[in-house]
Structure formats: structure tokens, C-alpha cells
Amino acid sequence: MPDAIWVDRQEELSGLARTLESQSLIGVDTEFLRERTFFPKLCLLQLSANGRIWCVDTLRGGSLEPLVNALTAPQTRKVIHAARQDLEAFYLTTKRVISPVFDTQIAAGCIGLKPQIGYAELVKTLLDVTIPKGQTRTDWSKRPLSPAQLEYAADDVLYLGELAERLQAQPHGVVALVTRCESRGLVQRRPSERDGREVEVHLLPKGEHLLIRLASLHRAELKASRGIFPVPVIEA
């Protein structure tokens, strides 16, 4: 594991932000407390990019505002595993939503792995690497963090970029299918206007023309599917 860079001063965040703004992919994870609070209390923000890892002390490092632009830049993909609670914790701290997001748990389900697979299990399944689980129930608000806590926190973002690549490389995965269609000018991915955490796939004119052609070739099968699931109106 590469050594994680500990960030706990406000002036260090600006330099980190400049580094992140030049990246095409950023791994993101958070550690927070929820057992004794109504809302999650963000205690640590872990980031990875281009082989480096940063652990940002959100209790002592001051405002996260310098990082907001990098973590919401539309040209930079943020890779998170089971993103919902991480997005919530970051939003409650900054009032901004991390986007666009590639959720490795959702992507794993799209290629046929078990639903809601855990991060450690996914790393073992795709990369054959075993991650220790000893700090799952640790108190992340205590300072200083132990070496074991820091190693656990760094591991949580260490493999995100590689997982995203492996998941998209699956030949029968939904994400891989969208990527291939996008490269051929059939569809376009766009951030959702309704929810910035989601990415929508829109048909382009070339893709719509191909879909109409396919529908005409499989007219009998589509007609037979009526009543089983919704299908578009098919002319006789």
C-alpha cells in the first residue's frame, strides 16, 4: 500500500485541490459517526488519484470548500463503492453533491455479481486481494488515528480505480455496453438534471435510427411480448 498523505491544515487543501482538478478519475470514501448523532458526522475524507492517497482530517482541517470544485467537476469521474452514505455525509458538510459518480457496487450488480456486494468482497473477487476488516466498527472521531486505522482508511480508496476499470471491461456488462455504444455515436451519457448523483443514457439520432431498424427486424418477437412487459407501439 502506498503511504497515505495526511491532510489536517486548511492551507494544504488548496494544493490538494489543484492536484485533483487535473485528474480524470478520483477515488472517494468517507468515515463518519452515526451511532450517536441524527445525521452522519464526517470524520475523515479519503481520496485517491494516479497512485496517490490522501486522508483529509475533516474534524481539524477546516472547511472542505477548496475541494468542492474538484469533486463536482463534470469532466472528472468520482469512483465510490456504495456511494449513498458517502454522498450524504459530504453534502451535509458542504451542501454540494459529489458528481459524476461511478458506483462500483451498482456496477458489480450490472455484470451479474451479487447485489449489494461489499467492497472487500468485490476486491477479492475481481483483484484477488484480501483486505483486513478489523476497523469496521472503529471510532473515527478519536485522534490521533492508529496506524491500523490509517491503513484501513487508505485501503478503502486504494483499489477503486482498478475496480472501475475491471468492471467496465466486462464484455457483457451494462456499463461496458453503454461505453461501446457511446464510442460508436449511438448514445450519450449526461448528468441527471433531477439528481446530480445519477448519469442518464440518451439515444442520439444514429442510435434511434438503429433501434428502429432492429425493431423492424424483430417485429414478431416484439408483438409477442405485449402483455409481458411494456413495448412501444408497433405498426402492422
Identify the weakest region by mean pLDDT among 82-86, 103-107, 154-158, 192-196.
192-196
Task: Return the C-alpha cell found at 68.
Answer: 468542492
56/61 Cα distance (integer angstroms): 7
Q: 226-235: long-range contacts at Cβ-Cβ below 8 A with a sequence spacing of 24 or more?
A: none
pTM: 0.74
Tell me the torsion sign for CA atoms 210, 212, 216, 219: positive
Residues of 142-172 as b/e, b for ≥16 C-beta within 10 angstroms? eeebeeebbbbbbbbbbbbbebbebbeebee
Domain ranges of the chain: 5-170
Beta strands in the chain (DSSP E): 5-7, 25-33, 41-49, 52-57, 77-80, 101-103, 187-191, 199-203
Closest CA to 43 of 147, 159, 138: 138
Q: In the Cβ-directed half-sphere of 178, how many Cα atoms lie within 13 Å?
A: 16
Can you identify the CATH homologous superfamily of domain 5-170? Answer: Ribonuclease H-like superfamily/Ribonuclease H (3.30.420.10)
- Angle among Cα 26, 199, 159 to the nearest 5 degrees reads 30
Residue type, 178: V
pLDDT, tens digit, for every residue of 89-124?
Answer: 999 999 999 999 999 998 898 788 888 999 999 999
pLDDT, tens digit, for every residue of 189-220?
Answer: 988 888 776 788 999 999 999 988 888 887 77
